[in-house]
Amino acid sequence: MKRRQFLAAAPAAIAAPSLRAQSKQKVTYGYLLDPAYESALWAIRNGKVRSDLIEVEATGLLIPQLLQATATKQYDVIMTAVIGVPTAVSRGLDLRIQSAALHASPVGEGGGVWVRKGSPIRSAAELKGKTLASYGLRSTGYMYVREALRREFGLNMALEGGDVRQVEVQAPNLPAALATGQADAASLIHSQAWRAMTSGDFVNICETGQILNKAHGPLTSAVNVSYPDRLAARPDAFREFNRMLKASVDYTLANRDEVFGAMARQANIDRKFFDWWFDRTTTVPAVFGDVHARAVATAWTIGRVMGMTTSVPDVRALTWDQTLRA
């Protein structure tokens, strides 16, 4: 997939627009390149949400690029996996949470385990001894799939030596791996799950999100983070970024026909996908309240049980004290 960059449109200037633009601070943002999350940023990209203080330069990245960019501090704000935060901190990378970027819907869809049509596998309990493919074996989203299968079906979901042979496949290749029998089952990314659901070529044998919602409540899979030195140097700019991000999400949800219609044409996907994504799979809080803090702490506890992290830090200590709470 190709990176996409956009600049938040500057407000119409009365005079000397170039001088006005130069007076703005720039805040760079790296986020997961996905059509659904692109729709959350649509209002910033199209000048519906503006600022006299900052311009936002946002870049869509694939998961491996997000991980690398977090470590190299390439962006002022970066979306990163929840489970990656304690690991980063243990390695001396100081981070501060700005907001919850991706939080599960109470409906619990989107975390399905899929098999090809006609597969003899009818239940996740039958995955023992089979091959399960994922876009990222050490990602937060897939950690949740493992936790659900462990909890509900008693499967040993250790990445090495467990009941299921778990393999990592580049996200764009997951449907082909499933269709050709290279994998017996797969955890698909959301746009693939939508196409699988609507095409009938694949069958969902387990909604892992519903299992997790029952056990833990909706969980957070990704957070937006920054770095203490940058926050201390420009707190006004980061507060404004957080405001704009929340306002952009609010605009999208209040103007679905406009935003989802435009994004459907851009991504070449049914407009109903975006309704399904926001209503039944994922929310984009763009704030960090108590419910998100508890969800993150729960995720870190799951991560310790699953061997993804050795520690469960204090969420409050790793949250910026000026972030939006609601």
> Kind of pairing, strands 25-32 and 77-81?
parallel
In one-letter notation, the amino acid at residue 152 is: E
d(CA 89, CA 85): 6
Place of tokens 């991980």: 67
Number of H helices, E strands in the chain: 14, 12
Helix H or strand E encompassing 99: strand 96-104
pLDDT the model gives residue 22: 59
Instruction: Give the residue from 101, 148, 103, 104 showing the smallest Cα distance to 124.
Output: 148
- Written as tens digits, the pLDDT of the chain (326 aa) is 444 443 433 333 333 343 345 589 999 999 999 999 999 999 999 999 999 999 999 999 987 888 889 999 999 999 999 999 999 999 999 999 999 999 999 999 999 999 999 999 999 999 999 999 998 999 999 999 999 999 999 999 999 999 999 999 988 899 999 999 999 999 999 999 999 999 999 999 999 999 999 999 999 999 999 999 999 999 999 999 999 999 999 999 999 999 999 999 999 999 999 999 999 999 999 999 999 999 999 999 999 999 999 989 999 999 999 999 98
> Right CATH number for 5-105+219-318 from 3.40.190.10, 3.40.50.620, 3.30.420.40, 2.60.40.10?
3.40.190.10
Helix H or strand E encompassing 43: helix 42-45
d(CA 36, CA 106): 18
For residue 319, the 8-state DSSP code is B
> Right CATH number for 112-216 from 3.40.1280.10, 3.40.50.300, 3.40.190.10, 3.40.50.2300?
3.40.190.10
Instruction: Give the residue from 37, 129, 85, 100 showing the smallest Cα distance to 323.
Output: 100
For residue 269, the 8-state DSSP code is S
> Hey, do 5-105+219-318 and 112-216 end up sharing a CATH topology, with the first three levels equal?
yes
pLDDT the model gives residue 171: 87
**Domain residue ranges in the chain:** 5-105+219-318, 112-216
d(CA 99, CA 238): 11
For residue 324, the 8-state DSSP code is -
> Kind of pairing, strands 131-134 and 165-168?
parallel
In one-letter notation, the amino acid at residue 54 is: I
